Structures are given as structure tokens and as C-alpha cells.
Amino acid sequence: QLRPVESGGGLVQPGGSLKLSCATSRDTLRRYPVGWFRQAPGKEREGVSCISAGGTTTNYADAVKGRFTISRDNAKNTIYLQITNLTPGDTAVYHCAVDRTPFSPTCTLTNANGRYSDWGQGTQVTVSS
């Protein structure tokens, strides 16, 4: 299975916005949920958003609701994470990952039992003035 590839990170000022991309395959987008996770220095990795196979269900961590929006472009085989009103607390490496539970109508923000098995290299988001 091809690993997803993230892009779009960078250095932004507080209050700014970024749109992260997760490039994957047509088959992955059709069959499997995809999640976005982040890991800040010295902190555990946390799930921030996910989208189900087919794109019918999305979930968000409480800490990001109202600021993060997950979406997909089937023509480009890409999952996006739009982040607005960035704060220094959003500074982290952001990874997307594929949950190899085929045709799941839901998605989860946890990686229980290693269900997210294909991880990208990550993209760095730094929020600083």
C-alpha cells in the first residue's frame, strides 16, 4: 500500500490560516477512513480530525472544533485539513494516516489496536509571531 504524503505546513503568525494536503490513492479514498493527527514536542500524538470512507462522516477533536475543517477532493485523490485562527498551541508535526478498515461508514480519532496502519512523513506547522 502506498503511504500518504502530506504537504502545506509552514510558519504562520497567530490568527493565520493554513491548508494541509494529504495525497493518497483513488482506491484508498474510496475504501478507507483517513485521519489527521498531530504531535507537538514533548507531547503525545493526538487525533484532530478524520473522514470516513466515502466521505460521509467527519469527526473533530474538541480542541479544534470550529477552527479545523476536513474535506476531500476525489478528482485529486487528496484529503485536506483547513486550519483557521491558528494559535501557538497548534504548533506540531501533522500526519495523515489511513485506517485499513474497509468501507467503514465512521472514523475514529484514536489509534486503538493500530488501526491506522499507513502513516505519512508529516508536515511541520509552526505558529509564532
- pLDDT for 38 equals 98
Query: 67 falls in which pLDDT band (50, 70, 90)?
Result: very high
Query: 27 falls in which pLDDT band (50, 70, 90)?
Result: very high
Nearest alpha-carbon partner for 92 in 76, 77, 81: 81
| Side-chain-side CA neighbours of residue 15 (13 Å) | 1
| CA 23 – CA 81 distance, rounded (Å) | 12
What is the DSSP pairing of strand 123-127 with strand 10-12?
parallel
Checking if the pLDDT of 1 tops 80, the result is no
Query: Which cell numbers hold the place of 25?
Result: 490513492
Nearest alpha-carbon partner for 24 in 84, 68, 62, 80: 80
Burial of 98 per CB tally in 10 Å (0-12, 13-18, 19+): buried
Phi, psi (deg, nearest 5) at residue 10: 170, -170
Instruction: Give residue-wise pLDDT tens across range 37-52.
Output: 999 999 999 999 999 9
Phi, psi (deg, nearest 5) at residue 16: -80, -175
